Structure 1
């Protein structure tokens, strides 16, 4: 059930970004879609640290950092910060030796929703600014 909710959130964010967002929002939505699809294809069992998913998340983090440094918008900084925390969850899981699958999964899922929320907020602000300027 949780996977359907995250898929619905992703598809909604991509639709909103493509429909109302600018270049930065569309690029980020595409990157989210690719990263999420790769993560689902690689592994989704949360048994031990997922090195391949860590690599995907790190690549997304680098992309968001690049966008945050070059964009004239504020939301990419929040998205990059949330992605950084999610990536740190992967790294922190490497030090844990006990049964941590539930905490690992919740940490990854929670911060991925925060990154998508930053995209949605940024798209809303960008769309609002466009409507204001065109009126």
Structure 2
């Protein structure tokens, strides 16, 4: 169920970004798609810290930080902050030695949604700004 919701949310965010967004929104959407595909290739079973997914998440965090620093919009800061918190789930998993696979996986998935919602909100605001500036 959750993978279907994640794919639907990613699809909606990317559709909106590519149809209505500017360069920042399209770049973030492309990064999200690439990160999702690579994460699917490198993930295992969450019985230990997923180093491949950790690397993907930190690369995405770096990209969002660069976007936030160069962009004239606010949403990349929120997306980077949510991605940072999601990346901290990996760090927390390194301290836990018990059977935590479910909590670890849910923590990673949970923080991916606010990142995508930040992109959707940013796309909506960008499209609205362009529409209002046409008048």
TM-score after normalising by structure 2: 0.97
How far residue 45 of structure 1 moved from its aligned partner, in angstroms, is 2.4
Supply the RMSD in Å over aligned alpha carbons.
Answer: 0.8
Name whichever of 100-109 and 121-130 sits farther off. Answer: 100-109
Partner of 1:16 in structure 2?
16
Q: Distance in 2 between matches of 1:97 and 1:15?
A: 40
| Displacement after TM superposition at 1:28 (Å) | 0.2
Match of 2:112 in 1: 112
1:77 equivalent in structure 2? 77
**Consecutive unaligned residues in structure 2, runs of 5 or more:** none
User: Which whole-Å deviations, capped at 9, do the CAs of 1:53-109 have from their partners, x for residues lacking one?
Assistant: 000000000000001111000000000000000111001101101111111111111
Which range moves more in the overlay, 44-53 or 82-91? 44-53
CA distance in 2 between partners of 1:76 and 1:54 (Å)? 20
Structure 2 matches for 1:94-105, cutoff 5 A?
94-105=94-105
Partner of 1:32: 32
- How many pairs are equivalent? 135
CA distance in 1, matches of 2:128, 2:103: 37
Deviations along 1:12-61, one digit per CA (max 9) or x if unpaired, are 11100000000000000000000011001111522211000000000000
In structure 1, stretches of 5+ residues that fail to align are none
1:52-91 counterparts in 2 under 5 A? 52-91=52-91
